[in-house]
Chain A
Amino acid sequence: NAGVMQNPRHLVRRRGQEARLRCSPMKGHSHVYWYRQLPEEGLKFMVYLQKENIIDESGMPKERFSAEFPKEGPSILRIQQVVRGDSAAYFCASSLGTATYEQYFGPGTRLTVT
């Protein structure tokens, strides 16, 4: 059973460009979470999605960031008009359910904004 997959693993963008991060959950998992980790810091929740629905986006910046988890295909985290402060590791995690289920993390996408 393949684990959580994320691509690309590394992404370099110039200020003002768009970044698209993709996440394919583990087989059978319908709950997807995105977390951001700034250098030398802990993980911060961004958004929680189930198929075709955003359940909680309380951790997402109000502007420039959006996420989706379509019926078919991977979950996408989209950052428009990137700024230097967006440079971070973005991790996706998936689970079978919510609070009583473990979340399995993908390898992350390391975004560098130049």
Chain B
Amino acid sequence: QQPVQSPQAVILREGEDAVINCSSSKALYSVHWYRQKHGEAPVFLMILLKGGEQKGHDKISASFNEKKQQSSLYLTASQLSYSGTYFCSRTNAGGTSYGKLTFGQGTILTVHP
């Protein structure tokens, strides 16, 4: 079961803020966020680990609620370059292949001048 993202699409003006949510019905070990522009490869943004550790982008913040199995990505003071499709992905808790990523369906973010 893939994580579920909301909203499916967001339209912003430059400088506005946005929150993208991700929830999972399966236990989360870690949550990884990526941004993909059309025709390009996904670019790593942030990884959130159980216990609160985070690694990633200076200008993007995120939260990870282990109990609710949810994560949120916070984009503040958006820039035109933030446009793209944002994917959350999870790794499984345990097992031999807990590195594989299961991606959500994506959230399309469009920033206008």
Contact = CB atoms under 8 A, between A and B. Distances in A.
Interface residues of B, number: 29
A56 B105 CA distance: 22
B12 interface: no
Interface string A73-111: 000000000000000000101010111111111111000
Interface residues of A, number: 28
A27 interface: no
B43 A105 contact: yes
A19 to B, nearest CB: 19
B49 interface: yes
Contacts of A43: 42, 87, 89, 101, 103
A95 B99 contact: yes
Contact of A107 (B40, B44, B56, B104): B40
A48 interface: yes
17 contacts: A31-B99, A35-B103, A41-B105, A42-B104, A42-B105, A42-B106, A43-B103, A48-B97, A55-B97, A91-B42, A99-B92, A100-B47, A102-B55, A103-B44, A103-B99, A105-B42, A106-B41
